[in-house]
Amino acid sequence: MNLASQKNFVALYHSGIYADPKLLDWFTNEYPKYCTRKLDMGKSCIRFKNMDDIPYQLIAELSGKMTVQQWIELYEKNIKK
């Protein structure tokens, strides 16, 4: 995970969302329960235009969904050639 402050938004990067379709589905289904604004997402980034709209509890849950070891295994299985 990574956090970046851009000119017009704060971006949260989570490579696991990009690599694991189940995790992406879970996140997109849970997001409306925590935030009233539309989900603004790229491949692995989630953009927040207003700091008050960041669903910190959801991000905490997302952080615990994938361990470093799980990410390494997923990377080696699907991405690494």
pLDDT digits (tens, 9 = 90+) for 6-65: 999 999 999 888 888 999 999 999 999 999 999 999 877 999 998 888 999 999 999 999
Domain that holds residue 46: 2-79
Q: Is 2 helix (H, G, I), strand (E, B) or coil?
A: strand
pTM of the model: 0.84
Q: How many domains does the chain have?
A: 1
d(CA 21, CA 39): 16
User: pLDDT band at 81, cuts 50/70/90?
Assistant: low
